[in-house]
């Protein structure tokens, strides 16, 4: 069969048709995999429709609203830490959290106990000698009393005696009475002296006993126990000045009565955040908030703003600044939370009921106007948008539909500069 000029043979048309079908099949497969006819290696996100929460974000740390401070024992010299449990470790009431060096106190106690035994022996000896002396004095007084009675008896015989013998009997009676008085005075003097000596020795023994008891109390205070359940947080040691301050550790000397640790009540944990002066007018107590802690970025915690300081506070940082203090309470506490954890507080100041939102990285600026780069069937296409509200991580926009896929801006590996996800300009 002959063909005219410009006519194609049948096999050529059949091959062309097969090529079109193969191209269509490949496009269909690509569409089924990506949802569009175009793919990109850039990170992407999908615009979503829903409630948009306008927030004020600020940084802060977890603090305990209530805590029990632990101080070094009073009137205990030469306190030095020889053991302490790990900072942040859980502790139960009555559990030992640190120990001081008690070797000096133990040596002093041994010396005081030996001194007390010696004082006790001396006291017992003095008391025994006082009893013996008292008995001897009493016997002598009794003998003198008998002598007086005999002399009085001789005087009563004056009618039977001569005048000279009667006078001698009177003299003997007077002499016996004088000796009796002297012996009674000696008895009273010895009693008073013995009592004074025993009282002095008793006082000395009581003094040594009190010193020994005080030393025992000091030794008992060498172990510091937790007054309540919680976690241990050791305070800063400023003995070397503010510049060299650091938490207490083994080997540190401690002043009597100084604070060395605290046990915060984990049920009273709250976030203490710094609020910029420009944001103060947008927030108020009882506003709903979210807390995102640095150790657990995957779990935002529901919270509520409890209070805001009425005055600004000076921050001794560089450059110096002034901020308000805001305190937020957790709606539900987590057992992993500990004082000192840093995090972000997002305070909800407004709600947009039906908004289109995209990640903040999706919005870039071109010629001073906000825009996003959308992923379409035919490739990447810029789309101008109007920013309705902005948060650190998310932006509410107008100008695109829900479900639109947009690219995300990436950070350069060097310099930290950002470029648009739309590729080369």
Mean pLDDT of 232-261: 90
Helices 103-155 and 163-220: angle between axes, nearest 10 degrees? 170
Nearest to 148 by CA among 173, 181, 168: 173
Of 135, 149, 134, 156, which is closest to residue 179 (Cα–Cα)? Answer: 149
What SS3 state is found at 393? coil
The answer on pLDDT for 113 being more than 50 is yes
Could you give the dihedral angle defined by the CA atoms of residues 230, 232, 233 and 238, in that order, rounded to the nearest 10 degrees? 140
Tokens of 195: 């009592």
Compute and round to an integer the Cα radius of gyration of the chain.
Answer: 50
Q: What is the mean pLDDT of residues 298-313?
A: 91
As a whole number of angstroms, the distance between CA 261 and CA 247 comes to 9
The label of the residue with tokens 């106007």 reads 369
**Tokens 């005696």 — which residue?**
161
β partners of residue 79: 254
Least confident residue range of 184-188, 255-259, 295-299, 354-358: 184-188
Q: How do residues 269-288 score in pLDDT, each as one tens digit?
A: 999 999 988 888 889 999 99
The predicted structure's pLDDT at residue 159 = 67
**Residue among 177, 182, 157, 179 at smallest CA distance from 167:** 157
pLDDT of residue 400: 93
Taking the C-alpha atoms of residue 411 and residue 163, their distance in angstroms, rounded to an integer, is 143
Q: What is the mean pLDDT of residues 342-370?
A: 93
Separation of CA 415 from chain center: 40
Q: At 196, is the secondary structure helix, strand, or coil?
A: helix
pLDDT number for residue 248: 93
Four-point Cα dihedral 347, 353, 358, 364, nearest 10: -80
| Confidence (pLDDT) at 7 | 53
- Which is higher by pLDDT, 135 or 5? 135
The pLDDT assigned to 285 comes to: 93
Q: What per-residue confidence (pLDDT) applies to 305?
A: 95
- Residue 47, classed as helix, strand or coil, is coil
User: For residues 372 and 376, what is the distance between their CA atoms, to the nearest angstrom?
Assistant: 12
Task: Write the pLDDT tens digit of every residue in 145-191.
Answer: 888 888 787 777 766 667 777 777 778 778 888 888 888 888 888 88
pTM above 0.75, yes or no: no
Quick one: which of 63, 56, 69 has its CA closest to 339? 63
What is the C-alpha to C-alpha distance for residues 358 and 405, in angstroms, rounded to an integer? 9
Characterize 187-201 residue by residue with b for buried, 16 or more Cβ atoms within 10 angstroms of its Cβ, and e for exposed. Answer: beeeeeebeebbeeb
Neighbours of 179 (CB within 10 A): 17
* Contact partners, residue 216, CB within 8 Å, separation at least 6: 109
Percent over 90 (pLDDT), the chain: 42
Q: Which residues, in sequence order, are bridge partners of residue 365?
A: 370
Place of tokens 């059949």: 14
pLDDT tens digits for range 386-422: 999 998 889 999 999 999 999 998 654 333 434 443 4
- Tell me what pLDDT residue 37 has: 52
Residue 292, pLDDT > 90, answer yes
CA 139 to chain centre: 75
| Confidence label for 1 from pLDDT (cuts 50, 70 and 90) | very low
Q: What is the pLDDT of residue 85?
A: 93
User: What is the mean predicted confidence (pLDDT) over 365-382?
Assistant: 90
Residue 302 near residue 255 (C-beta atoms within 8 A): no
Residue 10's pLDDT band (cuts 50, 70, 90):
low
Categorize the per-residue pLDDT at 9 as very low, low, confident or very high, splitting at 50, 70 and 90: low
- Could you give all domains of the chain from N- to C-terminal order, each with its CATH number? 44-63+265-419 (2.40.30.170), 67-101+222-264 (2.40.50.100), 104-220 (1.10.287.620)
Mean pLDDT of the chain: 83
Alpha-carbon distance of 87 to 75, in angstroms, equals 26
Two structure tokens written together for 113: 């106990």
CA-CA distance, 217 to 209, in Å (whole number)? 12
- Give the model's confidence band at 14: pLDDT under 50 very low, under 70 low, under 90 confident, else very high: low
Buried b (16+ CB within 10 A) or exposed e, 354-387: ebbbbbebbbbeeeeebbbbbbeeeebeeeebee
Any residues with CB less than 8 A from the CB of 228 and at least 6 apart, and which?
68, 93, 263, 265
Whether 8 shows a pLDDT value over 70: the answer reads: no
pLDDT of residue 249: 92
What pLDDT does residue 20 have?
A: 41
| Model confidence band, residue 21 (pLDDT cutoffs 50, 70, 90) | very low
Given this model, what pLDDT does residue 80 score?
Answer: 93
pLDDT at 200 over 70: yes
Residue 34 has a pLDDT of 43
- Greater confidence, 152 or 362? 362
With tokens 């506490």, the residue in question is 333
């Amino acid at each position: 069969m002959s063909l005219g000029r410009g006519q194609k043979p049948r096999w050529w048309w059949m091959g062309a048709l097969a090529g079109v079908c193969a191209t269509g099949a490949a496009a269909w497969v690509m569409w089924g995999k990506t949802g569009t006819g175009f793919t990109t290696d850039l990170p992407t996100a999908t615009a979503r429709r829903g409630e948009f929460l306008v927030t004020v974000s600020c940084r802060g740390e977890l603090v305990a609203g209530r805590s029990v401070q632990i101080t070094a024992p009073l009137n205990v010299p030469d306190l030095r830490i020889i053991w302490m449990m790990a900072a942040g470790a859980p502790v139960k009431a009555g559990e030992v959290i640190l120990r001081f060096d008690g070797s000096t106190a133990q040596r002093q106690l041994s010396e005081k106990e030996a001194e007390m035994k010696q004082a006790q022996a001396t006291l017992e000896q003095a008391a025994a000698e006082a009893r013996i002396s008292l008995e001897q004095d009493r016997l002598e007084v009794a003998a003198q009393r008998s002598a007086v009675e005999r002399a009085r008896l001789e005087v009563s015989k004056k009618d039977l005696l001569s005048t000279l013998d009667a006078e001698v009997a009177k003299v003997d009676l007077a002499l016996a009475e004088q000796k009796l008085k002297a012996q009674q005075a000696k008895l009273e003097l010895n009693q008073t002296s013995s009592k004074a000596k025993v009282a002095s020795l008793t006082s000395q023994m009581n003094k040594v006993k009190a010193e020994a008891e005080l030393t025992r109390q000091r030794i008992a205070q060498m172990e510091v126990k937790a007054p309540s359940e919680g976690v241990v947080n050791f305070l800063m040691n400023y003995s070397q000045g503010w510049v060299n301050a650091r938490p207490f550790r083994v080997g540190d000397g401690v002043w009597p009565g100084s604070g060395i640790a605290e046990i915060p009540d984990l049920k009273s944990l709250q976030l203490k955040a710094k609020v910029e002066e420009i944001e103060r007018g947008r927030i108020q107590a009882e506003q709903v908030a979210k807390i995102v802690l640095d150790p657990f970025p995957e779990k935002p915690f529901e919270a509520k703003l409890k209070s805001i300081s009425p005055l600004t506070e000076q921050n001794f940082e560089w450059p110096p600044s002034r901020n308000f203090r805001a305190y937020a309470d957790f709606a539900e506490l987590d057992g992993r939370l500990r004082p000192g954890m840093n995090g972000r507080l997002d305070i909800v100041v407004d709600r947009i009921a039906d908004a289109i939102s995209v990640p903040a990285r999706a919005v870039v600026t071109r010629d001073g106007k906000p825009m996003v780069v959308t992923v379409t069937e035919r490739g990447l296409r810029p789309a101008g948008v109007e920013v309705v509200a902005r948060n650190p991580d998310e932006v509410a926009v107008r100008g695109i539909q829900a479900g639109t896929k947009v690219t995300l801006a990436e950070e350069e590996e060097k310099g930290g500069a950002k470029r648009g996800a739309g590729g080369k300009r």
